[in-house]
Amino acid sequence: MAANVAVTLLTSLFVAQPDVFFWSWGLVPSELGATLHGWVTLFTSMFLHGGWLHLAANMLMLYFAGRLVETRLGSSRTATLYAAAGVVAALAQVAWDPTSGVPMVGASGAISGMFAAAVMLAPRERVLLITPLTLFIPIPMRLLTLGWLWLALQVIGLMGADPFGGGVAYMAHLGGYSGGVLFLFGLQAALARRKQSGRTDYARRLAIEYDPAPSPSFRTVYVTDSMGRTFAFHEPR
Protein backbone atom coordinates (compact mmCIF):
# COMPACT_ATOMS: atom_id res chain seq x y z
CA MET A 1 0.00 0.00 0.00
CA ALA A 2 2.83 2.40 0.83
CA ALA A 3 4.52 1.73 -2.51
CA ASN A 4 1.33 2.36 -4.47
CA VAL A 5 0.55 5.57 -2.60
CA ALA A 6 4.14 6.79 -2.95
CA VAL A 7 4.21 6.21 -6.71
CA THR A 8 0.89 8.01 -7.19
CA LEU A 9 1.98 10.91 -4.99
CA LEU A 10 5.33 11.32 -6.76
CA THR A 11 3.64 11.08 -10.14
CA SER A 12 1.13 13.79 -9.29
CA LEU A 13 3.83 16.10 -7.87
CA PHE A 14 6.75 15.69 -10.26
CA VAL A 15 5.41 14.35 -13.56
CA ALA A 16 4.31 17.17 -15.83
CA GLN A 17 2.64 14.90 -18.38
CA PRO A 18 1.09 11.90 -16.61
CA ASP A 19 -0.37 10.51 -19.84
CA VAL A 20 3.10 10.29 -21.38
CA PHE A 21 4.41 8.71 -18.19
CA PHE A 22 1.67 6.06 -18.30
CA TRP A 23 2.48 5.28 -21.92
CA SER A 24 6.12 4.79 -20.91
CA TRP A 25 5.62 2.69 -17.76
CA GLY A 26 2.14 1.23 -18.17
CA LEU A 27 1.69 -2.11 -19.90
CA VAL A 28 0.93 -1.74 -23.62
CA PRO A 29 0.05 -5.27 -24.88
CA SER A 30 1.08 -4.61 -28.49
CA GLU A 31 4.55 -3.47 -27.37
CA LEU A 32 5.24 -6.10 -24.71
CA GLY A 33 7.76 -8.19 -26.64
CA ALA A 34 9.29 -5.37 -28.67
CA THR A 35 11.95 -4.34 -26.15
CA LEU A 36 13.25 -5.26 -22.71
CA HIS A 37 11.46 -2.19 -21.39
CA GLY A 38 8.16 -3.74 -22.46
CA TRP A 39 8.76 -6.69 -20.16
CA VAL A 40 9.67 -4.34 -17.30
CA THR A 41 6.21 -2.77 -17.56
CA LEU A 42 4.70 -6.09 -16.45
CA PHE A 43 5.88 -5.08 -13.00
CA THR A 44 5.81 -1.28 -13.07
CA SER A 45 2.22 -1.11 -14.35
CA MET A 46 0.85 -2.64 -11.16
CA PHE A 47 2.00 0.40 -9.13
CA LEU A 48 0.51 3.06 -11.41
CA HIS A 49 -3.03 4.42 -11.04
CA GLY A 50 -5.16 6.73 -13.12
CA GLY A 51 -6.02 9.04 -10.24
CA TRP A 52 -6.63 9.15 -6.51
CA LEU A 53 -10.09 7.59 -6.74
CA HIS A 54 -8.67 4.63 -8.65
CA LEU A 55 -5.92 4.31 -6.05
CA ALA A 56 -8.33 4.58 -3.10
CA ALA A 57 -10.60 1.83 -4.43
CA ASN A 58 -7.68 -0.51 -5.00
CA MET A 59 -6.03 0.20 -1.66
CA LEU A 60 -9.29 -0.44 0.19
CA MET A 61 -9.52 -3.86 -1.44
CA LEU A 62 -5.81 -4.53 -0.85
CA TYR A 63 -6.18 -3.76 2.86
CA PHE A 64 -9.29 -5.92 3.15
CA ALA A 65 -7.69 -8.96 1.49
CA GLY A 66 -4.09 -8.33 2.46
CA ARG A 67 -4.66 -8.29 6.22
CA LEU A 68 -6.25 -11.75 6.00
CA VAL A 69 -3.45 -13.14 3.88
CA GLU A 70 -0.47 -11.57 5.63
CA THR A 71 -1.50 -12.83 9.09
CA ARG A 72 -1.54 -16.37 7.67
CA LEU A 73 1.34 -16.39 5.17
CA GLY A 74 3.70 -13.76 6.52
CA SER A 75 5.04 -10.60 4.88
CA SER A 76 7.55 -12.08 2.42
CA ARG A 77 5.14 -14.65 0.98
CA THR A 78 2.39 -12.04 0.76
CA ALA A 79 4.69 -9.70 -1.18
CA THR A 80 5.68 -12.57 -3.49
CA LEU A 81 2.01 -13.41 -4.02
CA TYR A 82 1.25 -9.78 -4.90
CA ALA A 83 4.03 -9.60 -7.49
CA ALA A 84 3.33 -13.04 -8.99
CA ALA A 85 -0.42 -12.43 -9.29
CA GLY A 86 0.21 -9.03 -10.84
CA VAL A 87 2.47 -10.47 -13.52
CA VAL A 88 0.03 -13.31 -14.29
CA ALA A 89 -2.80 -10.77 -14.51
CA ALA A 90 -0.85 -8.65 -16.99
CA LEU A 91 0.04 -11.67 -19.14
CA ALA A 92 -3.60 -12.78 -19.14
CA GLN A 93 -4.70 -9.37 -20.41
CA VAL A 94 -2.02 -9.43 -23.11
CA ALA A 95 -3.12 -12.91 -24.20
CA TRP A 96 -6.75 -11.75 -24.34
CA ASP A 97 -6.05 -8.59 -26.37
CA PRO A 98 -2.49 -8.75 -27.75
CA THR A 99 -2.98 -5.98 -30.35
CA SER A 100 -4.21 -3.35 -27.89
CA GLY A 101 -2.25 -0.12 -27.90
CA VAL A 102 -3.85 1.26 -24.73
CA PRO A 103 -1.62 1.20 -21.63
CA MET A 104 -2.92 -0.85 -18.72
CA VAL A 105 -2.24 0.50 -15.21
CA GLY A 106 -3.42 -0.38 -11.74
CA ALA A 107 -2.90 -2.90 -8.96
CA SER A 108 -6.27 -4.60 -9.41
CA GLY A 109 -4.76 -7.70 -11.05
CA ALA A 110 -2.34 -8.24 -8.18
CA ILE A 111 -5.09 -7.49 -5.66
CA SER A 112 -7.34 -10.04 -7.37
CA GLY A 113 -4.70 -12.66 -6.60
CA MET A 114 -4.58 -11.46 -3.01
CA PHE A 115 -8.37 -11.70 -2.81
CA ALA A 116 -8.26 -15.26 -4.19
CA ALA A 117 -5.77 -16.26 -1.50
CA ALA A 118 -7.96 -14.65 1.19
CA VAL A 119 -10.97 -16.62 -0.03
CA MET A 120 -9.00 -19.88 0.07
CA LEU A 121 -7.44 -19.19 3.47
CA ALA A 122 -10.59 -17.93 5.23
CA PRO A 123 -13.64 -19.04 3.21
CA ARG A 124 -15.98 -18.93 6.22
CA GLU A 125 -14.95 -15.43 7.29
CA ARG A 126 -18.05 -13.23 7.69
CA VAL A 127 -17.98 -9.94 5.75
CA LEU A 128 -20.39 -7.10 4.99
CA LEU A 129 -20.88 -6.14 1.37
CA ILE A 130 -21.61 -2.41 1.00
CA THR A 131 -21.78 -1.02 -2.55
CA PRO A 132 -23.81 1.54 -4.52
CA LEU A 133 -25.53 -1.41 -6.23
CA THR A 134 -26.98 -2.41 -2.83
CA LEU A 135 -27.89 1.24 -2.04
CA PHE A 136 -25.15 1.09 0.60
CA ILE A 137 -27.19 -1.38 2.61
CA PRO A 138 -24.81 -3.84 4.36
CA ILE A 139 -25.35 -7.40 3.19
CA PRO A 140 -23.70 -10.09 5.39
CA MET A 141 -22.16 -13.06 3.63
CA ARG A 142 -19.26 -15.46 3.87
CA LEU A 143 -16.03 -14.60 2.08
CA LEU A 144 -16.44 -17.63 -0.18
CA THR A 145 -19.83 -16.33 -1.34
CA LEU A 146 -18.31 -12.93 -2.03
CA GLY A 147 -15.58 -14.65 -4.04
CA TRP A 148 -18.10 -16.40 -6.29
CA LEU A 149 -20.10 -13.16 -6.68
CA TRP A 150 -16.99 -11.24 -7.63
CA LEU A 151 -15.98 -13.87 -10.19
CA ALA A 152 -19.46 -13.75 -11.73
CA LEU A 153 -19.22 -9.97 -12.14
CA GLN A 154 -15.85 -10.29 -13.87
CA VAL A 155 -17.21 -12.86 -16.32
CA ILE A 156 -20.24 -10.65 -17.05
CA GLY A 157 -17.93 -7.71 -17.66
CA LEU A 158 -15.69 -9.78 -19.90
CA MET A 159 -18.69 -10.78 -22.01
CA GLY A 160 -19.37 -7.14 -22.70
CA ALA A 161 -22.18 -6.31 -20.27
CA ASP A 162 -20.04 -3.98 -18.18
CA PRO A 163 -21.92 -3.44 -14.89
CA PHE A 164 -19.72 -0.52 -13.86
CA GLY A 165 -18.61 1.18 -17.07
CA GLY A 166 -15.15 2.45 -17.94
CA GLY A 167 -12.07 0.72 -19.26
CA VAL A 168 -11.83 -2.21 -16.88
CA ALA A 169 -9.35 -5.02 -17.65
CA TYR A 170 -11.60 -7.92 -16.66
CA MET A 171 -9.27 -10.57 -18.04
CA ALA A 172 -6.48 -9.15 -15.88
CA HIS A 173 -8.76 -9.55 -12.86
CA LEU A 174 -9.53 -13.16 -13.76
CA GLY A 175 -5.88 -13.84 -14.53
CA GLY A 176 -4.76 -12.35 -11.22
CA TYR A 177 -7.35 -14.40 -9.35
CA SER A 178 -6.12 -17.56 -11.09
CA GLY A 179 -2.55 -16.59 -10.25
CA GLY A 180 -3.46 -16.28 -6.58
CA VAL A 181 -5.13 -19.70 -6.57
CA LEU A 182 -2.15 -21.33 -8.29
CA PHE A 183 0.31 -19.60 -5.95
CA LEU A 184 -1.49 -20.85 -2.87
CA PHE A 185 -1.80 -24.40 -4.24
CA GLY A 186 1.91 -24.37 -5.09
CA LEU A 187 2.83 -23.03 -1.66
CA GLN A 188 0.73 -25.65 0.11
CA ALA A 189 2.27 -28.42 -2.02
CA ALA A 190 5.79 -27.14 -1.30
CA LEU A 191 5.10 -26.98 2.44
CA ALA A 192 3.64 -30.50 2.37
CA ARG A 193 6.73 -31.83 0.56
CA ARG A 194 8.99 -30.09 3.07
CA LYS A 195 7.04 -31.59 5.95
CA GLN A 196 7.12 -35.06 4.43
CA SER A 197 10.82 -34.73 3.70
CA GLY A 198 11.42 -33.81 7.33
CA ARG A 199 9.50 -36.85 8.50
CA THR A 200 11.45 -39.10 6.13
CA ASP A 201 14.79 -37.75 7.33
CA TYR A 202 13.68 -38.18 10.93
CA ALA A 203 12.66 -41.78 10.32
CA ARG A 204 15.96 -42.48 8.56
CA ARG A 205 17.93 -41.14 11.50
CA LEU A 206 15.87 -43.27 13.89
CA ALA A 207 16.44 -46.38 11.77
CA ILE A 208 20.19 -45.88 12.09
CA GLU A 209 20.03 -45.31 15.83
CA TYR A 210 17.56 -48.09 16.69
CA ASP A 211 17.43 -51.70 15.65
CA PRO A 212 15.35 -52.44 12.54
CA ALA A 213 12.45 -54.88 12.56
CA PRO A 214 13.51 -58.51 13.15
CA SER A 215 12.09 -59.73 9.80
CA PRO A 216 10.20 -58.43 6.73
CA SER A 217 6.96 -59.66 8.33
CA PHE A 218 7.32 -56.97 11.00
CA ARG A 219 7.44 -53.21 10.72
CA THR A 220 9.14 -50.77 13.08
CA VAL A 221 7.13 -47.93 14.60
CA TYR A 222 8.99 -45.12 16.37
CA VAL A 223 7.21 -43.14 19.09
CA THR A 224 8.59 -40.03 20.80
CA ASP A 225 7.04 -39.07 24.13
CA SER A 226 6.68 -35.64 25.71
CA MET A 227 10.07 -36.02 27.41
CA GLY A 228 11.82 -36.35 24.04
CA ARG A 229 12.53 -40.08 24.49
CA THR A 230 12.09 -42.24 21.39
CA PHE A 231 11.02 -45.89 21.51
CA ALA A 232 11.04 -48.49 18.73
CA PHE A 233 8.19 -51.02 18.53
CA HIS A 234 8.10 -54.02 16.19
CA GLU A 235 4.61 -55.10 15.16
CA PRO A 236 3.32 -57.62 12.59
CA ARG A 237 2.45 -56.18 9.18
CATH class, domain 2-191, is mainly alpha
Q: What is the pLDDT of residue 163?
A: 47
Mean pLDDT of 200-206: 63
Domain limits of the chain? 2-191
Q: What is the pLDDT of residue 23?
A: 86
DSSP symbols for the chain: -HHHHHHHHHHHHH-S-HHHHHHHHSB-GGGTTTSHHHHHHHHHGGG--SSHHHHHHHHHHHHHHHHHHHHHH-HHHHHHHHHHHHHHHHHHHHHHSTT--SPB--SHHHHHHHHHHHHHH-TT-EEEE--GGGTT--EEEEHHHHHHHHHHHHHHHHTT--SS-S---HHHHHHHHHHHHHHHHHHHHHHHHHHHHHHHHHHHHHHHHS---SSTTEEEEEEE-TTS-EEEEEEE-
- Choice between 167 and 204, residue whose per-residue pLDDT is larger: 167
In the chain, % of residues over pLDDT 70: 87
pLDDT of residue 54 exceeding 50, the answer is: yes
